[in-house]
Amino acid sequence: MGSAEDEATRVIYEFYDALDELLRSRGTSAMNEIWHHTDYATASHPFGSWARGWTEVSVNWDEAAAVFGFYKGHATRSDEIGGIHELKVVVMGDAAYGTGIYKSKLYMSDRELTLSINCTNIAQRIDGVWKIVHHHADQAPPDWQAAIGRMVEAGHS
Amino acid sequence: MLGAQRSSANVGTQLGGFRVLNADGNLSVTAWGYWPGEVSRAFAVKVPAAAQMLAPSSIFVLDSRELKPQGVEGQEALRLLFRVLAQLPFAKGTILRGNAMTGMQLSRLLRECGADGCIEFADTQSLGT
């Protein structure tokens, strides 16, 4: 077993692995597994407002999965949709926060859609298990949000 | 002179609910927050029934600016409304959109119900929190 910093860092990287699974239409089970299902779980995404409590947080992930169910740009690609960069993790007792930059690239039918936004994640150790309890991503630029909205309205990417 | 106007009391709480306003044959629904089961079930009963009163000259507005993405029951309640709207010949339908993810959910549900051709979105505030 590694240090608390190693463990917290690992769970944050695993969160982004789960996010890639979700965005690739491989389901939400990995995302659900990476969270503590608490009433103080909170999340805010590149599009959308705060989800407070695990029920709302999980609904937001379900909806994100539904939205990206229309995305087919990575259907035949092996590269990641996105990942966390410059991750810095600070541990304070049984809590840890990580700051980083999420970068992604989507292959839309008419262009590549890139995103680079600051993110913060908080992990908590409960009964020796580190999991996510908070995720915050900056709002994506309006043109990125509009492109995703058009994908949903059209029903394809 | 104003025509007949009838507004329901708020259903739900500050955290999640809706209200319905009938005025001059038009229908305005304001929805907010995240709906617990009882609010979803009330919406599924009250709002599609109210929509049945729409006439060819009627205007329908759903104010979703404060609405959060809904879970399974809330989505099913919205589908019931959208399926009714898809069958009605009203003059104009508008969804006031705030939260971008809610807008995407509503857009998806409209398409599923075949109501995307009779409802348009109006962005009323900046996207985000």
**Which residue ranges make up each domain of chain A?**
4-154
- Would you give the distance in Å from CA B85 to the centre of its chain? 10
Cβ–Cβ below 8 Å for A66 and B68: no
Q: Quick one: closest CA in A to B66, which residue?
A: A49
Q: Confidence band (pLDDT; 50, 70, 90) for B3?
A: low
> Which of A59, A115, A145, A157 to mutate: most B Cβ within 10 Å?
A59
Residue B71: C-alpha distances to residues A40, A78, B29, B39, B74 (Å): 18, 32, 19, 12, 5
- Name every residue in A having a CB less than 8 A away from some CB of B: 44-45, 47-51, 55-56, 59-60, 62-64, 66-67, 139, 142, 145, 148-149, 152-153, 155
Q: Mean per-residue pLDDT for B105-122? A: 95
Round to whole Å and give the CA distance between B90 and B82: 13
Pick among 3.40.1280.10, 3.90.1150.10, 3.10.450.50, 3.40.50.1100: CATH of A4-154: 3.10.450.50
Q: Do B104 and A152 touch (CB under 8 A)?
A: yes
**B16 touching chain A per CB within 8 A:** no
B21-54 confidence digits (pLDDT tens): 999 899 999 999 999 999 999 999 999 999 999 9
**B93–chain A Cβ distance below 8 A for any pair:** no
Burial profile A27-49: b = 16 or more Cβ within 10 angstroms, e = fewer:
ebebbbebbbeeeebbbbbbbbb
At residue B1, the pLDDT reads 41
Decide if the complex's ipTM is over 0.85: yes
> Which CATH architecture is the domain B5-123 placed in?
2-Layer Sandwich (3.30)
Residues of B in contact with A115 (CB under 8 A): none
The amino acid that residue B23 corresponds to is A
Percent of chain B with pLDDT over 70: 91
Contact B104 A149 (CB under 8 A): yes
Q: In whole angstroms, what is the distance from residue B54 CA to residue B62 CA? A: 14
**Is residue B93 within 8 Å of B60, Cβ to Cβ?**
yes
> Which of A51, A67, A142 minimises the CB distance to B127?
A142
**B129 with A139: Cβ contact below 8 A:** yes
Question: Distance between CA B123 and CA A113 in Å, rounded?
Answer: 22
Q: Is the CB of A152 less than 8 angstroms away from the CB of B107?
A: yes
pLDDT of B67: 97
Residue B34 at interface with chain A, using a CB cutoff of 8 Å: yes
Domains of chain B, by residue range, sit at 5-123
Inspect the interface and report whether the beta carbons of A153 and B71 lie closer than 8 Å: no
In this predicted structure, what is the pLDDT of residue B7?
A: 72
Write down the pLDDT at residue B18.
Answer: 98
DSSP secondary structure letter of residue A35 = B
Task: Using pLDDT thresholds of 50, 70 and 90, give the confidence band for residue B127.
Answer: very low
pLDDT at position B129 is 35
CB contact under 8 A, A145 and B107: no
Buried-exposed string A56-90: b where 16+ CB fall within 10 A, e elsewhere: bbbbbbbbbbbbbebbebbeeeeebbbbbeebebe
Distance between CA atoms of A53 and A38, rounded to whole angstroms?
6
pLDDT band (50, 70, 90) for residue A104: very high
